[in-house]
Structure 1
Amino acid sequence: MADLALHVLLLLFLAGFLAGFIDSIAGGGGMITIPAMLLAGIPPLETLGTNKLQALFGSGSATLAYARAGQVRLAEQLPMAALSAAGGVLGAVLATVVPGDVLRIALPFLLVAIAIYFGLKPNIGDIDRHRRMSVFLFTVTVVPAIGFYDGVFGPGTGSFFMLAFVSLAGFGVLKATAHTKLLNFGSNIGAFAVFIAYGVVLWKVGLVMGAGQFLGAQAGSRVAMRNGAKVIKPLLVVTSIALAVRLMADPAHPLRVWLGW
């Protein structure tokens, strides 16, 4: 495709910044970056491939910020990140085989359920609670499964990782947020490698948006660490609902097509 105008690249940079800020706190940055690229005239497949490139900057930036503040030990999380990356690879490779319409139909309802869970459960804070699943079982089942979803489809991955860490691993909200970022980075890298192989990555757009993502994630992670559950919980609820609404607003959504809306 032809080079984008300078003002369009600037708007995509700003979209990347906002997405990085939100994603570093509550996930859901893709609901900003993907529509922004589509509106800029980038074809859908190139949008997905380029989105993984720019998302690497946001998840990587947030990971470094949380690690520097002592919220996560990266060395201990590397096995999880590797399995998340493997899931991302498999998901991206099988994206044309997996019934995507099923995921698109179910996702808005899953996101609303996540919003309700975090919004109505009063005892979710920054303090760790009872673990419901062993570290090993969590690592070999939940992590690659969510990574696989990120490779196949993507939106809401951060919210799913958050829910898993809080409800199954017993993490407090801030700790869950910090640990989510490296796993999201892993799944992004796995899927990104596949999209490179298919030649559907627009490097200039991805790097411009990635610069915005990096800066936005640095700002967002600082806000999260300063305010903890007070800002993470409301933003997670709002982001999950907004992403569900955004998905259902698409006239091509399978459920709307089926219902004739």
Structure 2
Amino acid sequence: MELAFLAAAAFLAGLIDAVAGGGGLVQIPALFSAYPNLSPATLIGTNKVAAMSGTAAAAWRYGRRVRVYWGATGPAIVAAFLFSMLGAYALTLIPADPLRKALPFVLLLLLGYTVAKKNLGTEHAPSLSGRAERWAAIGVGIVIGFYDGIFGPGTGSFLMIAFVRIFGYDFLHASVSTKFVNLATNLAALLLLAAKGHIWWQLGLIMAVGNVAGSQVGSRLALKHGSGFVRKVFIFVVLALILKTAYDAFLRG
């Protein structure tokens, strides 16, 4: 029963992630619910196997249909990979509790900004080029990569809004760049956790099948319905993230 439950959760997580990010909202709580006595590091490492597989499948599907702007995406990938690994190492040295308590408020600001700017992400008009674009991309990769390594929830949402707001992408083009950068952060964390023996490979691979299937459905919906659809799902996911992270930070015993 646990395997069927987790495969279904992985499918839903892959679908959500492929459209707007935030699939961890479904997949991580499902893992902790099914195996409450297992090491948190092992559960998170196992989650990365499934999440990385679904993200890779979505990136491949998007990349075939939507132009990837490598001038920003490439430097962000490299910086995010390196700093995600650094963040995962920092997690062993410093407490993550302050981040956990601050996250709902940061997400609330993000949601308010997105809702207030009704045209945000509806038109694709890249605003940076050359050296300015590269340095901005490196900055995004450093900040969000480190955050994903040390904590993680909402990484896809933060990447999405960064590509929309900083680089002038619409939500569809931002989504494809987000997938490639998030793939790098997931890979970095996966390598670190695998090296420390914190992955249940059999379960991770079963969940990966469900996550990949969900990602194919999600990316098909996003490609069919465009940026307006992605924006609506993004707003819904960020709202759900606010409620979930606020509960975890302040109400859970």
TM-score of the superposed pair, with normalisation by structure 2: 0.92
Aligned counterparts of 1:136 and 1:162: Cα–Cα separation in 2: 17
Structure 2 match to 1:94: 90
Deviation, structure 1 residue 156: 0.2
Structure 2 match to 1:224: 222
Amino acid corresponding to residue 104 of structure 2 in structure 1: P
Give unmatched runs, 5+ long, in structure 1. Answer: 1-6
Q: Deviations over 1:199-245 (max 9, x none)?
A: 11110111111111111111101111111122111111111111111
2:12 aligned with 1:22: no
- The answer to whether the 8 A contact 2:96-2:151 is kept is yes
- The answer to whether the 8 A contact 1:67-1:73 is kept is no
The structure where helix makes up a greater share of residues is 2
Deviation, structure 1 residue 105: 0.8
Q: Deviations over 1:2-54 (max 9, x none)?
A: xxxxx211111111110010011111111111100000114322111111111
Structure 2 match to 1:106: 102
Deviation, structure 1 residue 144: 2.1
Q: Deviations over 1:133-164 (max 9, x none)?
A: 82111222111210111111111000000111
Amino acid corresponding to residue 143 of structure 2 in structure 1: A
The 1:118–1:76 alpha-carbon spacing in structure 2 relative to 1, beyond 3 Å, is closer
Give the secondary-structure state (helix, strand or coil) at the position aligned to 2:91.
coil
The 1:123–1:129 alpha-carbon spacing in structure 2 relative to 1, beyond 3 Å, is same
The 1:76–1:117 alpha-carbon spacing in structure 2 relative to 1, beyond 3 Å, is closer
Deviation, structure 1 residue 132: 6.2
Moved over 6 A (4+): none
Q: 1:62 aligns with which of 52, 58, 61?
A: 58
Q: 2:166 aligns with which of 168, 180, 188?
A: 168
Q: 1:1-261 to 2 correspondence within 5 Å? A: 7-41=1-35, 42-72=38-68, 77-129=73-125, 131=127, 134-250=132-248, 253=249, 255-256=250-251
Amino acid corresponding to residue 158 of structure 2 in structure 1: F
Deviation, structure 1 residue 81: 1.6
* Number of corresponding residues: 249
- The answer to whether the 8 A contact 2:84-2:147 is kept is yes
Aligned counterparts of 2:233 and 2:114: Cα–Cα separation in 1: 10
Give the secondary-structure state (helix, strand or coil) at the position aligned to 2:67.
coil
- The answer to whether the 8 A contact 1:114-1:237 is kept is no
Give the secondary-structure state (helix, strand or coil) at the position aligned to 1:228.
helix
Moved more, 126-135 or 184-193: 126-135
Moved more, 108-117 or 14-23: 108-117
Give unmatched runs, 5+ long, in structure 2. Answer: none
Aligned counterparts of 2:120 and 2:109: Cα–Cα separation in 1: 15
- The answer to whether the 8 A contact 1:20-1:216 is kept is yes
Give the secondary-structure state (helix, strand or coil) at the position aligned to 1:17.
helix
Amino acid corresponding to residue 106 of structure 1 in structure 2: A
